[in-house]
Chains A and B, each alone.
Chain A
């Protein structure tokens, strides 16, 4: 291998999010060892399963890059789902219900942003509190009951639940791309484009890296910081829509615990909780890692409790691997005495 190509290879490796390694290694191991894991049918369902977490973890990574965090995303998933279902239940047109639901999520995010920026409450605490508010509202609005989609009068919701494309392989395996997956891909692409092609991305990193410097260079830090929480609110609402489509109903508890999983997926994807570093594609891969482990082990018939144990261990090993990939084996050297 000549020098130039070696360098460009190194460059490429550097550009990849850390979680790429874990994902690739796990994926290959599972394809080899677990029957049916690599089948088209399973890959289709794996992507469908991971979709919600992919959206939430990329939303989380936007907040994390600014040095913040949004623990209310799980609550927003429950709340916005309930709002959409209630609007449909009261006879509103389904497109309007979805749009209003998304708007409501943005509004909730705006409140998060205002509490963080204007009231100067630390993001962890502000969004932790707002999580409770979202949970309470979701339960109150639904009377703590599951809300079901009517069978008729919701053509768009029915359409969103269908498959866009089905490809039957000679083996009997079916590769399906559902509308839900399409929504996921479109949302994530838009987010990444918004991040890369507008000033937003640059400002976000500036906010997380050195806020004072950002302020001095005339970035309206407050405005952009609030914007971050509006965006996480919007993305969480998209996740709420996906959840609604997937479980064909809205449940006031459907988002419970998703906020922690989203943080874990984002961190696994190389986002630093201290802010300033990290990437959205990394967070997406982080979410895929979590679901690859779950899906693979479950497919192999591992006991649900054993999966919990293994998933925990894989998370730790994944983080170790991130460290190794970035810094080499230097745990000892960095210890100061």
Chain B
């Protein structure tokens, strides 16, 4: 009997663990319940759909990426700015960029009967069945940053990833004077964002017959992997004129490899996305230029679009934000 009792005791500890998890939530998410001090005894989070407030789930691709944390910060801010109207809950798959886990999150939103889902899909095609389920449950779906190839999407807010690749490549090739050997470091193999940007890059190459693509390899959106890929390229090719990495984490990794090889003067580096580290690299002259897609605005506008749609207003179903190629001059 004693064994069973101890087993139950351990079990209760586990239950308590779960509660620790839960109580942690309430401080972490931006439920307006926190400001609503009078709500005594009311269980927070999910139940808040009573009244006028909209429950909006904001799902990103990873909580382990500075880029998406910028987006969630903006989403959180939006939740605070309109605390009397919306309730924003932030979610992300545990395994970064895992489409299967992201589908699980959408299913959970359906269970929680949220009013709208704002999502940056890990894969444009893979997310479709989940979005169709959400549509069936009458939930408004807005995509931000990355499109969905199907389902009933109220609006898309973001850039065209194809254009990202195209405009960055064009800027790089112009800088090189239309002549030279370039390297492209892609994101995760099979990831649609990475593929679309790479397609844009290759399309731009057609306008520049003097450009040769030496190598195009994936580095999993990861700094250390990009560094290894770049080191190997530096070793293999004696004549490299330009490098484009499809996000800044990889960009900063590639720069380290180039600097370690002492070839920063002969290679023009470009990347995508802007933050303090990128500005520092621009200032140091390690980076020639980067692309800015303003992910914070994407998140904020996407949530507001969902709110407008819920209020019954007509919203534009494609809200393409401009991409700007920024160089050091833009920050001086």
Contact = CB atoms under 8 A, between A and B. Distances in A.
B8 A25 contact: yes
A12 B108 CA distance: 35
A190 interface: no
Contacts, number: 184
Contacts of A26: 11, 14-15, 18
Contact of B100 (A13, A246, A310, A314): A246
A301 B123 contact: no
A252 B189 contact: yes
B89 A146 contact: no
A49 B18 contact: no
B92 A304 contact: yes
A142 B190 CA distance: 8
Given A251-B123, A321-B10, A45 B195 contact: no
A295 B95 contact: no
A317 B18 CA distance: 12
B247 interface: no
Contacts of B18: 26, 29-30, 33-34, 293, 296-297, 310, 314
Nearest to A13: B4
A148 B124 CA distance: 10
Given A48-B107, A145-B190, A314-B17, A248 B125 contact: yes
Nearest to B9: A324
Interface in A24-42: 25-26, 28-30, 33-36, 39, 41-42
B11 A321 contact: yes
Contacts of B189: 139, 144-145, 252-253
Interface string A251-266: 1111011000000000
Interface stretch (B23-31, B249-257, B302-310): B23-31
A17 interface: no
A296 to B, nearest CB: 7
Interface stretch (B42-50, B164-172, B259-267): B42-50
Contacts of B17: 310, 313-314, 317
A25 B112 CA distance: 23
B94 interface: yes
Given A34-B22, A314-B17, A317-B10, A42 B91 contact: no
Contact of A247 (B10, B100, B218): B100
Interface residues of B, number: 59
A321 B14 contact: yes
B41 to A, nearest CB: 14
B103 interface: yes
B1 to A, nearest CB: 10
Nearest to B63: A304
Contact of B104 (A49, A142, A148, A248): A49
Given A22-B11, A252-B190, A310-B17, A300 B104 contact: no
Given A29-B14, A257-B95, A248 B126 contact: yes
A263 B146 CA distance: 34
A42 B195 CA distance: 34
Given A39-B111, A49-B104, A299-B112, A304 B93 contact: yes
Contacts of A286: none
Give the dominant DSSP class at A's interface.
Answer: helix
A294 B94 contact: yes
Interface in B34-82: 43, 45-47, 63-64
B215 interface: no
A101 interface: no
Contacts of B235: none
Contact of A253 (B15, B25, B188): B188
A133 to B, nearest CB: 16
Contact of A300 (B10, B11, B25, B93): B25
A257 B101 CA distance: 13
B45 A35 contact: yes
Contacts of A247: 99-100, 103, 123, 126, 129
B18 to A, nearest CB: 5
A107 B325 CA distance: 51
B313 interface: no
Nearest to B128: A248
Given A247-B100, A306-B28, A324-B10, 12 more contacts: A33-B22, A144-B189, A248-B125, A253-B188, A257-B95, A297-B22, A300-B45, A301-B29, A302-B24, A305-B64, A307-B94, A328-B6
Interface of A: 13, 21-22, 25-26, 28-30, 33-36, 39, 41-42, 45, 48-49, 52, 139, 142, 144-146, 148, 161, 172, 243, 246-249, 251-254, 256-257, 293-308, 310-311, 313-314, 317-318, 320-321, 324-325, 327-329
21 contacts: A25-B12, A26-B15, A29-B15, A30-B18, A33-B18, A36-B112, A144-B189, A146-B125, A246-B129, A247-B100, A247-B129, A251-B99, A253-B190, A296-B18, A300-B25, A300-B46, A302-B21, A304-B91, A304-B92, A306-B25, A321-B11
- List 9 A-B pairs, minimum CB-CB distance, nearest first: A25-B11, A144-B189, A29-B15, A45-B107, A247-B126, A42-B111, A328-B3, A301-B25, A304-B63
